[in-house]
A and B are shown apart, each in its own frame.
Chain A
Amino acid sequence: MNSVKRQKQRKVLLMGKSGAGKTSMRSIVFSNYVAKDVRRLGATIDVEHSNIKFMGNLMLNLWDCGGQDGFVENYLTHQRTHVFGSVAVLIFVFDIESREFAADVINYSNIIRALSECSPNAKVFILIHKMDLVQTRLRDQLFAERADYIRGASEGFKDSVDFFATSIWDQSLYRAWTMIIYHLIPNAASIETLLQQLAEVIDARELILYERTTCLMVTHVTRGMENENPYTDRFERISSILKTHKQSMSKHTGIPAGTANFAEMQIKTGRFMFFITRLTENTNLAASIPPSEQIFNAARINILLARPRFAELDIASRPRAPAEGGQGQPPSAQIGAAEA
C-alpha cells in the first residue's frame, strides 16, 4: 500500500548556531545550489523538513533546525521529545569564525544532553565549517584544537563522535556528507558484494556508485593495483566535479539541475578508460577500466545486464509486498528537496 512505510526512514538533525551554514550546505548538497547562491538564503524559521530518497530504500528525513536562540530554546523545552526522539544522526555545525566559541560549545552540550536522553543510540557528526576563512597553513591545527575541545563536551558520545573540517567552497563538504550517508545506508554490505561481483566480471579497476541528484558516493569497489592510487580524496573530488558539471549542463540546456543527468559519459585515454552510466533509478555507476575497447564494450553491456539485480537489491531488502504491482518505486520520487 504505502511504499513510504517500507522505506527505511532515517531522521537526521542538522543543528548549530544561526549563520553557521546549515541551510547553505543542505542547499548545495541536496538542492543544486552553487556556492555563490547561498548568499541569498535567509535565516531558517523553526525547522525545515526535507525528505530525500536515497538508493531506493533509504529515505533521509532531514530536519534543518533554525539556530536562533528562541528556536533552540523551544527545541530543548516544549518540543524536546518531538525534536530529539528517534534520531539516527545529529549533524552539528560549528562556524570556525564564531567569536563566541565557548558559548557555542555550551549550546552544543545542551543539545547533546537532550539527544542522549531521547535517542541514546544516535550517531553524532561535527562539522567545523567555513574553513575557507582560515589561512591554509593554520587550518589543521585550529581544526584539531576545536575538535579536541568539542569532544570534551560530548558526554556519552565522546568516543563515537566524528569530526570534519568543511567549506562550501571545496570538496570537503562532499567528503563529510559521503561519510554521513554511508553511515545511514542500511544495506551497504549487500550493495558492495554485488558491486564487487560486477567489478570482477567486467575487469574494472574501480567502480563508484553514486546518487544521481546529490552526486554523493554510496559506495565503491577498488581492485588490484588501483588500491595504490595516490589520490585518496578522489571520491569526494569526483562528487564535487560531477556536481559542478551537472549544474553547468543544466544551465546550458535549460533542463532543471535535478534532472540534468547523463545518459552516458565516456573518457578514453591511453592509460585508462572511464565511463558513467545509469545503474538504478537513483544511482549512477562510474567505472574505471583498463584502456581497451574490448573491455570497454563488454563492460557497458554487462552493466546493462546487471541493472535488474541492483534494482532488486533495493526492493529485496524491504519487507515483501506482493501486491505492489506496477506502482513500486514511484518514478517521480526523486530527491524531494531538489525543487527548493
Chain B
Amino acid sequence: MNSSLLTIPARRRRLSDEMEDPDEGLSRFQPAARLTMLRYLQDLHEAETPLDAVPPQYHTGRLPNSKSGDGKPRLLLMGQRRSGKSSISSVVFHKLPPSETLYIEATTRVKKESMHSFMDFQVWDFPGHVDYFDPAFDTENIFEEIGALIWVIDAQDEYIDAIMRLHKTILNLQQHYPAINVEVFVHKVDGLSDDFRQDTFRDIIQRVQDDLSDAGFENAPVSFYQTSIYDHSIFEAFSKVIQKLIPQLPTLEALLNSLCLSCRIEKAYLFDVLSKIYIATDTSPTDIGNYELCSDYIDVIVDVSEIYGWDRPEGEAGEEEYGESGNQDAESLITMEKKGNNYLYLREINKSVFQRPESASMADPKQSRYLALICLMGEDSSAEKKALIDYNVGVFQEALKQVFPR
C-alpha cells in the first residue's frame, strides 16, 4: 500500500465556510446516550467488558430504514457520466493517485464496494445512463438501505441536465425514502478560478433549491460541497457525509470537547486512519487547513509505520527483549523548532484490538482498521503537559470502547 507516495498537493481553501452545517436539523443527539457516557466515565472498571477472542465488528451506523440490519451504511454515488464518480471512489477508498484517474474506464455496471475500514459501508458507483427509477429497476433493493446519496455534478461542464436529474431523484426519494441524506458534490472545482467557482457553486445551490421549493419541498435534507480529487476537499466532504451516519456522533463530540477542555488542546480529531476520513471532531470551528495538517501527519505515520513495521523474521537476536514492551498502538509527537512547544500529538486507538497478533501485518491494510486521535496543541503547550494528555487520552480511549458496543 503506498497510500501517501503521491501526496495530494494541498491548496488552502476555506471550504468549511460554504458548507452547510452537516448537523443542523439532523442531530441525533440523545440525552440518554450522554448519561450513559457519564456513567461510563465515572465508573470505568465496572463498565469494562472482557475482550472477545474474535475481533469485534463495529457496526456504528444503524440506519432508520435499514431492513437487513447488517448495519452497513451504504453510500450511493450518482451523477452524469464523466462527472467523476469512479475517480472519487478510487481516490478516496483505493488511494489511487488523482492523476491516474485519467485512465479510468467508463463504468458500465453498478459497482458495489465494501470498505474495510473502521466503518463498513458501500459505494455504489452508478453509470450515468442508468435510469434507476424505471419501474423495471428494483429501486427497493437500491434505496432501502442507503444512508446517503452523493450526487456528483461536474462543475467544469454544463450542469443543467445534471440538476434536472438530481431534482427528479430528490422528488422520488422524498416520496419513498425521506430519511436519505442527499449530498451534492459540486466536483472538479480545481479547474475553476476562485470567483467562477463561487458563482458556479451558488448558482447550482440556487437552482436546486428553487426547483425544490417550486415542487413544494422547502426543507429537503440536501447539502452542498465543493470538491476535487486533487486536494483534500473530497476527503473533508466525505468526512462530513459519513459523520451524519454515525448515531454516536454527539457522544463522540462531547468526549472530544471534554478532552480539549481538560488538556487545553486547540483542536482534536478522531480519524479513521486508512480512509483518512475523520469521524468526529470537537465542536470548535474547523477549517480545512487543520484537516490537511492532520491528514498529512497521518501520511507520515502510516508511511513510516509501514516502512519500519515490516514483518521481521522470528528470532532476530535480542528481539524478545523488547517483544511486548512497546505499545501496539502507535504514538507520536511533533515539536516545531520555531514554536518550541509540542505542536501535534497523535495516538492510534484500538489498533491492537483490531489486529489479530498472528496476522498483524502492516502490509495488509484489511487487518488494520483503526482510529487515531490527533490533537493540535495550542501555543502554550509545554512538554510537561504530555503526561496529562497521556492520562486523559487513556480515559478517552476507554470511553470510546463503550461508545461502540460490541
Q: Which residues of A contact B (CB under 8 A)?
A: 34-37, 132, 135-136, 169-171, 205-206, 224-225, 228-231, 234, 237-238, 240-242, 244-245, 247-249, 251-253, 255, 259-274, 278, 288, 290-293, 295
Select which of A224, A248, A264, A273 is within 8 A of B326 by beta carbon: A273
**With an 8 A cutoff between CB atoms, is B296 at the interface?**
yes
Bound form: Cα–Cα A196–B313 in Å: 24
Using known A-B contacts A252-B290, A268-B326, A291-B325, determine if residue A237 contacts B5 with beta carbons closer than 8 Å. yes
A265-B335 in contact given A225-B316, A249-B293, A290-B318 (Cβ < 8 Å)? yes
**Chain B residue nearest in CB terms to A171:** B5
- Could you tell me the distance between the alpha carbons of A67 and B300 in the complex, rounded to whole angstroms? 36
- Neighbour of B338 across the interface among A136, A206, A241, A253, CB < 8 A: A253
Chain A residue with minimal CB distance to B287?
Answer: A252
B5 touches A240 (CB 8 A): yes
Is A251 a contact of B305 with CB atoms below 8 Å? no
Interface residues of B in 270-312 (CB under 8 A from A): 289-290, 292-293, 296-297, 299-301, 303-310, 312
Of the residues A234, A260, A263, A270, contact of B307 by C-beta under 8 Å: A234
- Known A225-B316, A291-B322; contact A267-B301, beta-carbon cutoff 8 A: yes
Would you list the 5 A-B pairs with minimal beta carbon distance, nearest first? A291-B326, A36-B9, A270-B326, A248-B296, A244-B7
Judged by a CB distance under 8 angstroms, whether B93 is at the interface is no
Q: How many pairs, one residue from A and one from B, have CB atoms within 8 Å of each other in the complex? A: 163
Distance between B3 CB and nearest chain A CB, rounded to angstroms:
10
Report Cα–Cα, A262/B300, bound state, in Å.
13
CA distance A244 to B6 in the complex (A): 10
Instruction: Verify B332–A255 contact, CB threshold 8 A.
Output: no
With A36-B230, A242-B300, A262-B335: A269-B328 Cβ-Cβ less than 8 Å: yes
Residues on the A chain within 8 Å of B312, using CB = 225, 228, 271
Contact pick for A225, options B307, B313, B329, CB 8 Å: B313
Asked whether any CB of chain A lies closer than 8 Å to the CB of B46, the reply is no
Instruction: Please give, as numbers and ranges, the residues of chain B lying within 8 Å of A229 by CB-CB distance.
Output: 307-308, 310
What mask results when residues 99 to 137 of chain B are scored 1 for a CB within 8 Å of chain A, else 0?
A: 110010000000000000000000000000000000000
Cβ of B303 and Cβ of A237 under 8 Å apart?
Answer: yes
A272–B321 alpha-carbon span in the complex (Å): 13
| Cα(A137)–Cα(B288), bound, Å | 35
A to B CB contacts below 8 Å, 7 in the list: A37-B9, A225-B313, A249-B334, A249-B336, A266-B333, A271-B326, A292-B321
Query: Contact: A248 with B10, CB < 8 Å?
Result: yes
Given A225-B316, A240-B5, A241-B4, answer yes or no on A252-B309 (Cβ-Cβ < 8 Å).
no
The reply to whether the CB of B389 lies closer than 8 angstroms to some CB of chain A is no
B12 CB within 8 Å of chain A: yes
Select one of B10, B99, B308, B317 contacting A274, CB under 8 A.
B308
Query: Which of A171, A230, A238, A293 is in CB contact (< 8 Å) with B304?
Result: A238
Q: Any chain A CB within 8 A of the CB of B327?
A: yes
Asked if A36 and B100 sit within 8 Å, CB to CB, the answer is: no
Q: A234-B307, A252-B289 are in contact. Are A262 and B9 (CB under 8 A)?
A: no
Given that A132-B99, A269-B326 are known contacts, is A253 also in contact with B309, CB under 8 Å in the complex? no
Contact A268:B327 (CB < 8 A) given known A252-B289, A260-B336: yes
Partner of A267 from B305, B319, B336, B343 at Cβ < 8 Å? B305
For B306, the chain A residues whose CB sits under 8 A away are 231
* Beyond A34-B9, A229-B310, A264-B333, 17 extra complex contacts between A and B, CB < 8 Å: A132-B97, A225-B313, A237-B5, A241-B300, A244-B296, A244-B299, A248-B292, A248-B293, A249-B343, A253-B338, A262-B336, A267-B301, A267-B332, A270-B327, A288-B308, A290-B319, A292-B325
Given A169-B99, A262-B334; A245-B5 close (CB under 8 Å) = no
Instruction: State which of A36, A169, A267 has its C-beta within 8 Å of the C-beta of B97.
Output: A169
Complex formed: what's the CA distance from A265 to B332 in Å? 7
B54 to chain A, nearest CB (A): 21
**Interface majority SS (helix, strand, loop, mixed), chain A:** mixed
Which of B9, B299, B328 touches A245 (beta carbons < 8 Å)? Answer: B299
Contact status B336-A240, CB under 8 Å: no
B308:A261 contact, CB within 8 angstroms? no
Say yes or no: is B337 at the interface (Cβ < 8 Å to chain A): yes
Chain A nearest CB, measured from B377 CB (Å):
12
Cα separation A231 to B307 with both chains bound (whole Å): 6
A244 contact set on B, CB distance < 8 A: 4, 7, 296, 299
In the bound complex, residues from chain A placing their C-beta under 8 Å from that of B289 are 251-252
Q: B344: shortest Cβ distance to chain A, in Å?
A: 8
Given contacts A262-B334, A269-B330, contact A35 B9 (CB under 8 A): yes
Query: Shortest beta-carbon distance, B280 to chain A, in Å?
Result: 21
The distance in angstroms between the C-alpha atoms of A309 and B337, with both chains bound, is: 22
Contact of A238 among B9, B303, B326, B343 (CB under 8 A): B303
Chain A: CB-nearest residue to B100 = A136
Whether, in the assembled complex, B331 has its beta carbon less than 8 Å from a beta carbon of chain A, the answer is yes
Q: How far is the CB of A164 from chain B (nearest CB, A)?
A: 16
* B308 partner residues in chain A, CB cutoff 8 A: 205-206, 229, 271-272, 274, 288
- Is A263's CB under 8 angstroms from B336's CB? yes
B45 interface contact, C-beta 8 A: no
Q: Contacts A260-B338, A269-B326 known; A245 to B97 CB distance under 8 Å?
A: no
Asked if B67 is an interface residue, CB under 8 A from chain A, the answer is: no
B11 within 8 A of partner (CB): yes
Distance between Cα atoms of A336 and B214 in the complex (Å):
62
Q: Which residues of B contact A270 (CB under 8 A)?
A: 324, 326-329, 352
Expressed in whole angstroms, the minimum distance between the Cβ of A118 and any Cβ of chain B is 39
Do B322 and A290 touch (CB < 8 A)?
A: yes
